[in-house]
Each structure stands twice: as structure tokens, then as C-alpha cells.
Amino acid sequence: LDQLFNTGVDASHNLLPNGALDPHYALPASSVPSGMPGGYVPGFAKATTTPWDLVSPWSKWIAPDVNSVLCPGGLYTYNTTFSLPTGANPATASISGRWAADNGAWMYLNSVTPANLVSTIPGPTGFAQWTVFTVPPGHFVPGANTLFFVVTNREIYTGLRVEFTKKS
């Protein structure tokens, strides 16, 4: 599963500079609240430095704009798409990792429905700690798969951070 990337990294897994568009995570205009700041580029998330950083050299926070302090309250749905390699068995594939989000969040695989729920981050302190997750075998489909991250923003800051620790 080489097509899965942590948030805020480039194709070589190097951290993106502050304000760079994350090439691996989409944030479509239809999945953000109205009133986005002027720096938001529809369809993209930006690597950002936040006032509540978790220490890790493997990922960076992403948000609608580098200045996540101006983002309106509501739900933000990020997504990343990957394909199972040729010959991979969807019945035995699995992914594990950790993630954080402000203020609370839900992770889904292949559609945003309760039956496809992978993990939750309870609010309001999801930004202050890592939450471990596993997508167990039997949840993948042959070909393209999409992870959705629905992030709640209650106040002025918003962001998402994901690190994959096992991809098999």
C-alpha cells in the first residue's frame, strides 16, 4: 500500500513546507462549511503549523488554510484514495496508524456511513493526543479505496493529522 501517505508529506515522505498543498489529501469545496478564509484553495488541504503540535517527524497537520485560526465552525471532510496492489487480497489487507483532529472526528472507509466507521476521536481534546486506529481485514474492495476523515470544528481552529504505521 505504497499509495498511502501521512498528512503533510510529499511523494518522498518529506514534510511539506508550511502553506504547501498536500497532494495526497483532498478537501472538496462541497465538504467544508460556508465562509472559508480567502487562502482556502477548493479541493485541497494545506500543510500547517498549529499552536497545538504533537511531536513527530513523520507527519504534519493539514487544514483548509495555513492560518487555520480563521476557519468557520462545522464539519470538514478530508479524503485520501489508494489502490490495493495487483494481486493483493482485500480479505487480508489491513492498515494501522494513529491520528488526531480538532475537535472530534470520524474515520470511514469507502463511504461515509455508520457501517463503514473505522475509528472516532472524541471531542473536544482530539487535537491534544494521538488516537490509534486499525482498518481490519475484510473491509477493503479490489482496486480503489478511499478513507474519509470527518472533522468537527467547534471554534476557530481546525486540522487533521494522520500517520500510518502498518500497511499490508
| Sequence-separated (6 or more) residues with CB below 8 Å from residue 30 | none
Tell me the pLDDT band of 34, cut-offs 50, 70 and 90.
confident
Whole-number pLDDT of residue 105: 93
Whole-number pLDDT of residue 88: 84
- Taking the C-alpha atoms of residue 165 and residue 155, their distance in angstroms, rounded to an integer, is 30
Tell me the pLDDT band of 52, cut-offs 50, 70 and 90.
low
Q: What is the pLDDT of residues 142-166, one digit of tens each?
A: 889 999 999 988 777 788 999 999 8
Of residues 16 and 48, more confidence is placed in 16
Q: What stretches of the chain show up as alpha helix (H) in DSSP? A: none
- Taking the C-alpha atoms of residue 168 and residue 157, their distance in angstroms, rounded to an integer, is 34
Q: What is the pLDDT of residues 76-122, one digit of tens each?
A: 999 999 998 888 888 998 899 999 998 889 999 999 888 888 898 88
119-127 mean pLDDT:
79
Q: Cα–Cα distances in Å, from 37 out to 32, 64, 156?
A: 11, 8, 11
